[in-house]
Amino acid sequence: MNECYYDRRMDFFYNRTKTDTADEWTGPQLIGVLCFGTFFCLFIFISNSLVIAAVVKNKRFHFPFYYLLANLAAADFFAGIAYVFLMFNTGPVSKTLTVNRWFLRQGLLDTSLTASLVNLLVIAVERHMSIMRMKIHSNLTKKRVTFLIISIWAIAIFMGAVPTLGWNCLCDINVCSSLAPIYSRSYLVFWSVLNLVVFFIMVVVYIRIYMYVQRKTNVLSSHTSGSISRRRTPVKLMKTVMTVLGAFVVCWTPGLVVLLLDGLNCTDCGIQNVKRWFLLLALLNSVMNPIIYSYKDDEMWATMKRMICCSSEDKSQERRSSRIPSTVLCRSTDISGHYIEDGIIQGTICGKGDLGDKGNS
């Protein structure tokens, strides 16, 4: 019977698999890693929160496609949490981790990847349902969308927990991988091949849908009296999704190929030299998505800008009001009238977007 090593610290596995880890970080290295990681993680949190808030606030986004897009932003937000946890549990700290803490570190990353991947698959199904009927949005009810979102996270959590549930090498250290010292090589092959196959299928499906949309739009454009912008809306939505998918595939494929090579026990591939760069590339994917949403979707950008604008104006109004003593407000009707007038003007400015939305909805 094989001996199990659940009570060992990670230095035992790192030393046995000869995994390259930094024994110590000097002052400049530590400061650089923390500053770089903190900046990108804060951007991930703020930008993806704005995307989710924009979908909630703007009634024009209350459709299945945008609910799923908000869930994709939530997956990127979760990825930011995973990167923060990784940032404080990597480098020289890696060897001091317990087995369970290391499983948690990697499980968070695997969960975030799976959540984004499955979410893109569901968006592909939603787009297919709407495009085949030549509609901008599908007829999925809110209950079904909610069920899909819950299912996405259930699958993501399960896939992130698979190594913890038993598919690891703690009881058979001869099959341990190099990049993930307590993951079995067979699991890395399964994980990387599964994701790469799904990548390929999604790319093919999205290209076919996009070509169908282009062909149908060109045929119908000469026979319909609708506005040009309305006829182009399905194409614009597909371009947004395909850009997001393209960025996702570009950012994650190199890392998955490296994991596959490690699972195949390729000792001469130099995977230790590139692993940090490919992890950084995966981090950039969560940074890029909110930029793609706002750049490709004018309505999304306008909603996010209104939220930022009105928030800053509300704060400045509160600061100006707080500077006025109560005695001055009581004695000077002119000054109080001046501030009330400012508040009305600013409220009108901030409310323009909402009034516009109500008028257009």
With contact defined as beta carbons under 8 Å apart, do 17 and 178 qualify? yes
Domain count within the chain: 1
- Comparing CA positions, the residue from 333, 193, 323 lying closest to residue 263 is 193
Q: How confident is the model at residue 221 (pLDDT cuts 50, 70, 90)?
A: low
With contact defined as beta carbons under 8 Å apart, do 210 and 242 qualify? yes
Does 32 reside within a domain? yes
Q: Does the pTM exceed 0.75?
A: yes
Does 64 reside within a domain? yes
Between the alpha carbon of residue 179 and those of residues 159, 161, 261, 263, 271, the distances in Å are: 19, 18, 10, 9, 8
With contact defined as beta carbons under 8 Å apart, do 194 and 110 qualify? no
Does 321 reside within a domain? no
For 306, the 3-state DSSP assignment is helix
What are the tokens at 14? 């790192």
For 155, what's the count of Cα atoms within 13 Å in the CB-facing half-sphere? 16
Does 56 reside within a domain? yes
Q: What are phi and psi of 253, to 5 degrees?
A: -60, -45
User: Does position 323 have pLDDT exceeding 60, yes or no?
Assistant: no
Of the candidate ranges 116-120, 190-194, 331-335, the one whose mean pLDDT is the lowest:
331-335
Does 319 reside within a domain? no
Does 2 reside within a domain? no
Please provide the distance, in angstroms rounded to a whole number, between the alpha carbons at the two ends of the chain.
68
Query: Could you say which DSSP state residue 324 is in?
Result: S
Does 149 reside within a domain? yes
What are the tokens at 271? 């995977």
Specify the CATH number for the domain of residue 37: 1.20.1070.10
Of the candidate ranges 100-109, 180-189, 272-281, 321-330, the one whose mean pLDDT is the lowest:
321-330
Of the candidate ranges 144-158, 209-223, 327-341, the one whose mean pLDDT is the lowest:
327-341
Of the candidate ranges 2-6, 165-169, 329-333, 354-358, the one whose mean pLDDT is the lowest:
329-333
What are the tokens at 293? 């949403």
Query: Which structural domain, as residue segments, surrounds residue 207?
Result: 10-222+235-309
Mean pLDDT value across residues 304-326: 61
- Comparing CA positions, the residue from 185, 195, 197 lying closest to residue 263 is 185
Between the alpha carbon of residue 13 and those of residues 168, 169, 192, 272, 311, the distances in Å are: 12, 10, 22, 16, 50
Share of the chain above pLDDT 90, in %: 26
Does 290 reside within a domain? yes
User: Does position 245 have pLDDT exceeding 60, yes or no?
Assistant: yes
User: Does position 211 have pLDDT exceeding 70, yes or no?
Assistant: yes
Residue 4: per-residue pLDDT: 84
Residue type, 79: A
